[in-house]
Amino acid sequence: MVLQLHKRLMAVAGVVMTGYLIFHMLSNLSFFSEAAFTGFYDFYNAGPIRWFVLILMIVAIVIHVKAAIKIRKVNAQARTIDYAKHDKFKIPAPLVTISILFLLSFIVIHITQSLLFDTSVLYSDVTTLFQSPLMVLFYLAGLFVLTMHLSHSLANVLQTLGKTSVIYHSLVWLGVLALTGGFALIPLYIYFVMP
């Protein structure tokens, strides 16, 4: 019962965050036109929307992480003996934990950086950020872990819904790659293409 509630909370928070990510990626694509990017973020930062979205995201992250920890604990207590046979592509548990911790640190660092941006010169602040090769690598690594995390968790959602066909799984992969690839375009464009 408690486990079901946590699974539901985790899924709802996950859906809210995925919705935000789609919106965030699409609005960031406006970067390819300075006027469009500045126009969008001037509007976004003018009223309370930005703060509402930020608080919503922080609440969603906290709910998602807390529920995940609870589910892990309950599952560990229930399964005192490890499975005799694992999936062919099983990633070792410590690596999963490290990658999730990295993803969380990435999100915390990114939100901190976004709060330090001067909203009146956002376009040039983002451009300056990705002139650093370290920052480009850090963001690409964060997006890689996000790709793994989203494709794995969405595959689980498909499984729960009984959609196990290759077509559904391929669509999820394509969607996730379009999302994280869309994000990656900005640091890559700034570092390799912009004068």
Query: Where do contacts with ligand HEM occur on this chain (CB under 6 A)?
Result: 21, 24, 28, 41, 44-45, 50, 53-54, 57, 107, 110-111, 114, 117, 119, 122, 126, 139, 146, 183, 186-187
Please list, in sequence order, all residues whose beta carbon lies within 8 angstroms of the beta carbon of residue 65, skipping any fewer than 6 positions away: 104
Q: Give the up-direction half-sphere exposure of residue 69: CA atoms within 13 A in the CB hemisphere.
A: 6
Sign of CA dihedral 135, 137, 138, 142: positive
Beta carbon nearer to ligand HEM, 128 or 160? 128
Residue 92 carries which DSSP code?
P
Which is nearer to ligand HEM, 91 or 104 (by Cβ)? 104
Structure token digits, residue 156: 């689980």
Judged by CB, which is closer to ligand HEM: 44, or 102? Answer: 44
Q: Give the residue with the Cβ less far from ligand HEM, 67 or 130.
A: 130
Least spacing, CB of residue 173 vs ligand HEM, in Å = 18
Which of left, alpha, beta for 50 (phi over 0: left; psi -120 to 50: alpha)?
alpha
Q: Which residue's CB is nearer to ligand HEM, number 71 or number 107?
A: 107
Give the phi and the psi of residue 86 in degrees, each rounded to 5: -110, 165
Q: Please, what is the angle between helix 2-28 and helix 34-46, to 10°? A: 130
Supply the minimum distance, in Å, between the C-beta of residue 10 and ligand HEM. Answer: 16
Min separation Cβ 165 and ligand HEM, Å:
28
In the complex, which residue's CB is closest to ligand HEM? 114
